[in-house]
Amino acid sequence: MTIHLSQFKKITFLTGAGASAHLGIPTFEEIYSDKEAMESMSVDVLKTNPEKVWKVLGKIRPYINAIEGKCHEFGWFYNTLGLDIRSKGSWATITTNIDGVKPFVTGPRLIQLHGDGRDTKCSNPSCDYKVKYDMNTYEGDAPRCPKCGSYLRPDVVLFGEALPYTTEREAKDAMYDCDLLVVIGCSNRVGTVSKYFRSAKYEGAKTVLINKEPIPGIQFDHEFIGDAFDMINEHLTI
């Protein structure tokens, strides 16, 4: 079975950790498999013990730094497919990843649903201090903002925090407006896939899953189970 992307006018991709795992970035489960780490990724811990948040989320930065020079390998997805189909219609990518891989390559409109793990910002909502692509891990330390003295934090959405309104609105618009939804490498751990799947399906979009395993409770029109890299090359074409 082959999905011909050029047959659709508006395509939305929803990607998770499995979409960039072949570059060497560990999946969410691999990095945060222990209970203590999972409990550290909350807004409540940020307020009381920001060092614990940095200890966990700082781990991903060395991986990102190490694969930066390899990111051209991801071009098979965006560059090979993207440069051709963008002229035939509109498309968007919503990613639940915080690994920052997508901006390294030329591609479609990108919506980073949970933020970018490479970015650092002030924890004080009224302070606008932010550092893009900060490779410091700050493990064992919680740095202070040079502008207001508050703690700095990774610019990602923690458990207990709502998604930024503009980001969620943009993601919902991409779902409501697409005629093809392709979900790649997602676990649906926090219900993101099911929420956006329902939105796209309700509006009549064709739905495709490319994943290491099926997602329980969700029935896609087409499911291609296996390595994301292999499945995209085998089942997606212009």
| Residues taking part in catalysis | 114
- DSSP SS3 for 232: helix
- Smallest CA-to-CA distance from 153 within 67, 62, 41, 17 is with 41
CA distance 23 to 70: 7
Cβ neighbors of 164 (< 8 A, separation 6 or more) are 157
- Measure the CA–CA gap between 97 and 94, rounded to whole angstroms: 9
Q: Which spans in 177-227 are helix H?
A: 192-202
CB 13 within 8 A of CB 94: yes
Distance (Å, rounded) from C-alpha 211 to C-alpha 6?
22
